[in-house]
Amino acid sequence: MTNTSSRKRRRTSTLPQDSEPSKHDIFTQWCLDRGVQIQNVKPAILPGRGVGLITTAKIKQDDRIMFVPEKPMFKPDATVFGKTQTKTWTQKASPQVQLAMSIMQECRKPESQYHKWKATWPTPEELLPTLPLFWSKTLQSHLPPSLQQPLERQRLDYEKDLSTARSFANEAGVELDEEDFKYHWSIVNSRSFHFKPPGARPGFMVLCPFVDYMNHGPSGTGVKVSQTPKGYEVDADRDYEPGTEILATYGAHPNDKLLIHYGFTLPTPLNPDDDIRLDSLLLPAMSSSTTSALQDVGFLGGYALLPATNELCFKTQVAVRAMLLTANEWEYFIANGEDLSGDQSGRVREWVLGRLEEFRELAVEKIEELEGLEGEDKDAVKVLVGRWRQILEAIDRYEREGR
């Protein structure tokens, strides 16, 4: 292991004659100097995708690509507002605000070693306009209904964290720049990892160098990222040719979640994890007794059309049957996954199609409104139009081919 790391260290730090090291070269060397093991990958600018990691040589399945020990990870600093506040800070501040304030205060120091790392992150001008949380009210109002509640939860989390940080900063006599806080809070929200070293209870949020270069890939497309007692290890999920981007799966996230947390969506054919949420269509159509019955069995909410299979999820099948069938028929379906007296999927489909037509009209209306907006961020508008088109395409396909 040591010999492999040494060979990589020499190769990574060698630059062509007369060339100036880029910020990514400088940060790569910074990582290597702190014990990060990097094998046959490097950061690269990817057109239309920002920065990612690409392979520099062939990699075999299960080969170790990276190992990041605990030492170079950036951890929350319990003394960020002074030792006298340490106990109350760790008790009252969320893990996210603890890490955000720690890295923000650290990067205020002109001599901080972390400036080399920060230089590789997107700037505030690049990052913040992509996040729906910081969009204008007009753009936020054009988000799909499924994103309104998650956006509100995120807003409340942010405002609570900001209030906590401001309270402690005032008490410590430290000036809190909200724009700076907003940026570092967003960096932590989109780039942090959870780390639990042996004996730690509980674990804590960290920033993990070099691993955070990896872009997201949906289920089945990412390398294997695992926490060990000593750090984070990244192993190849398959064979790779040189010049191939390696991805990490942040989770089996539908495009709604990717948009609200990371500011992007994936093309539907490339994201088998995507779903089109139908709660705004189903919940208003339910009687109070149906709502109570579904809640009792854990099937209230979370309804979706699944573009990857062009099917309704099981929870949706259960919910619609609760409105269409007798209690005995409905309970039989929940227990067995099939209907008691003949297949009722046709009735379910017809009922859903009636509501989907309303959703289709809303999608067409939103696309037209967005394309006519002026004075709004063009990239944000493009992302919103793209998401509504994905919804429209999923509805149209289900109408044509659904079963």
- The whole-angstrom distance between residue 268's C-alpha and the CA centroid of its chain comes to 16
Ranges of each domain in the chain: 2-73+209-248, 83-207, 276-401
pLDDT by residue for the chain (403 residues), tens only, comes to 333 333 333 333 334 444 568 999 999 999 999 999 999 999 999 987 789 999 999 999 999 999 999 999 999 998 888 888 888 888 899 999 999 999 999 999 999 999 999 999 999 999 999 999 999 999 999 999 999 999 999 999 999 999 999 999 999 888 899 999 999 999 999 999 999 887 767 778 999 999 999 999 999 999 999 999 899 999 999 999 999 999 999 989 999 999 999 999 998 777 899 999 999 999 999 999 999 999 999 999 999 999 999 999 999 999 999 999 999 999 999 999 999 989 999 999 999 999 999 999 999 999 999 999 999 999 999 999 999 999 999 999 999 985 5
Q: Look up the CATH number of domain 2-73+209-248.
A: 2.170.270.10
The token pair at 337 is 């996954």
Q: d(Cα 311, Cα 294) in Å, to the nearest integer?
A: 20
CB 69 within 8 A of CB 35: yes
Tokens of 399: 């109408």
Q: What is the pLDDT of residue 6?
A: 30
Q: Which residue has the tokens 């600093």?
A: 77
Under a CB-based contact definition with an 8 Å cutoff, are residues 211 and 27 in contact?
A: no
What was the pLDDT predicted at 336? Answer: 95
Task: Kindly write down the DSSP assignment for every residue of 133-192, as one continuous string.
Answer: GGS-HHHHHTS-HHHHHHHHHHHHHHHHHHHHHHHHHHHHT----HHHHHHHHHHHHHHE
How far, CA to CA in Å, does 104 sit from each of 26, 247, 364? 21, 27, 43
Beta strand segments in 1-97, E? 37-38, 41-46, 50-55, 64-69
Residues 263-278, buried b or exposed e (16+ Cβ, 10 A)? bebbebeebbbbbbbb
Give the 3-state secondary structure percentages of the chain, helix then strand then coil, rounded to 5: 50, 15, 35
What are the Cα distances from residue 125, in Å, to 12, 175, 260, 335, 381? 30, 22, 18, 52, 16
> 272: cis peptide before it, omega within 30°?
no
pTM of the model: 0.90
* Rounded CA separation 13/292 (Å): 63
Q: Where does 27-125 show beta strands of DSSP type E? A: 37-38, 41-46, 50-55, 64-69
Phi, psi of 66 (to 5 degrees): -145, 155
Residue at token pair 């603890």: 98
How far CA 397 is from CA of 104, 135, 166, 360, in Å, comes to: 47, 31, 50, 11
Phi-psi region of 302 (alpha: psi -120 to 50; beta: other; left: phi over 0): left
Q: How far apart are CA 397 and CA 310, in angstroms?
A: 7
State the pLDDT at residue 19.
Answer: 55
